[in-house]
Amino acid sequence: MVTSQFATQLPQDNQDLSGLLGQHLIYTYSNGWRYELYIKNSNHVEYRVHASVKDVNPLAGRWVKDQKAVIARLGNGMYSIAWNEPTGTCVNLVMDTEQRWVHFTGFLAKWVSDHPELTVVFQNEHLAEIQALRDAGPIAPQVQADLFGTISFAEYSGTDNEQVIASPPGDVPDGFLDRTN
């Protein structure tokens, strides 16, 4: 993370993240796009983008481990999870784990919006390529995405569990995404 005169440290009240850390979630956005998110620890998330239940999800097949994130508790069962991807895309999820909804706001780099297929990889193994694509751009104008979704499955998997997001989205067992609780 880059430190500058704009970065400030403010005291954080009510930052008990114990209700979120170690959670493994499956959720579906209103457009049918399915995602899986693991809150690995207080500074990292991991995720997989799955095929859609309605329309084609152009990012299906993408997966990421150890994505640095800023996680904050907003209230009882409500959290904000934000990160800046190596693609140049900025993501913010607001999640209510009690009412089981998620809101995604993303500012996709222009090159990602134009060619999402270039990001459909295991990002960790293609970091240099992704950063080169980001640097070649264009980053702007960014494309804003705004989606609501429903959490269909949540389980505690412990923190720093390397087995939660350990394979590509296409390798999950049949019925894996259909689990509900």
Cα distances from 122 to residues 40, 46, 78, 168, in angstroms, run 17, 11, 29, 7
d(CA 58, CA 40): 25
- Among 27, 29, 79, 85, the active-site one is 85
- Among 27, 29, 35, 47, the active-site one is 35
Note if 79 is an active site residue.
Answer: no
Note if 125 is an active site residue.
Answer: no
* Residues annotated as catalytic (active site), given as ranges: 35, 85
